[in-house]
Amino acid sequence: MPNLPLYLLTFFAYGVLAVFCWRAQEGGKGEASSHGWLGNAVLFPLTLHGYLLMGSLWVGGSLNMGLASALSMILWLTILIYWLAHFFYPLASLKTLVLPLAAVAAVLPAIFPKVRPLMQATTWAFDAHVLVAMLAYSLFTIAALHAGLMSLVEKSLHRASLPRVLRNLPPLLTMETLLFRIIGVGFVLLTLTLASGVVFSEQIFGKAWQFNHKVLFGLISWVVFAVLLIGHRFRGWRGRTAVRWTMSGFAFLLLAYIGTQFVLEVVLRR
Looking at residue 83, its pLDDT comes to 84
Assign 268 a pLDDT band (cuts: 50, 70, 90): very low
Give the three-class secondary structure for 45: helix
90 or 225, which is more confident?
A: 225
> DSSP state, 117?
B
Q: Are 17 and 46 in contact (CB under 8 A)?
A: no
d(CA 49, CA 8): 11
270 or 128, which is more confident?
A: 128
Looking at residue 163, its pLDDT comes to 63
d(CA 11, CA 9): 5
| Confidence check: pLDDT of 125 > 80 | no
Query: Residue type at 86?
Result: H
Q: CA torsion sign, 81 to 87 to 91 to 93?
A: positive
d(CA 222, CA 187): 7
Domain borders along the chain are 4-267
Query: Residue type at 1?
Result: M
Phi/psi of residue 36, nearest 5 degrees: -105, -145
Looking at residue 119, its pLDDT comes to 46
94 HSE (CA, 13 A, CB side): 26
Query: Residue type at 56?
Result: S
The predicted-structure confidence for 24-77, as pLDDT tens digits, reads as follows 776 655 554 555 667 788 899 999 999 998 877 766 556 666 778 888 888 998
Run of H or E including 256:
none
| Confidence check: pLDDT of 98 > 70 | yes
Predicted model pTM: 0.79
What residue spans of 200-267 are helical by DSSP H? 201-205, 213-234, 239-254, 260-262
**Beta-bridge partner residues of 59:** 62
Q: Could you tell me which of 70, 76, 133 has the C-alpha nearest to residue 101?
A: 76
d(CA 65, CA 22): 33
Looking at residue 45, its pLDDT comes to 93
Assign 167 a pLDDT band (cuts: 50, 70, 90): low
Phi/psi of residue 116, nearest 5 degrees: -125, 75
33 or 250, which is more confident?
A: 250
> DSSP state, 164?
G
What residue spans of the chain are helical by DSSP H? 4-26, 30-34, 37-40, 43-57, 67-85, 92-111, 124-158, 172-199, 201-205, 213-234, 239-254, 260-262
Q: Could you tell me which of 20, 143, 130 has the C-alpha nearest to residue 78?
A: 143
| Distant-in-sequence, close-in-space partners of 232: CB < 8 Å, separation ≥ 6 | 180, 238, 242
Tell me the average pLDDT of the chain: 79
| Confidence check: pLDDT of 105 > 50 | yes
> DSSP state, 27?
T
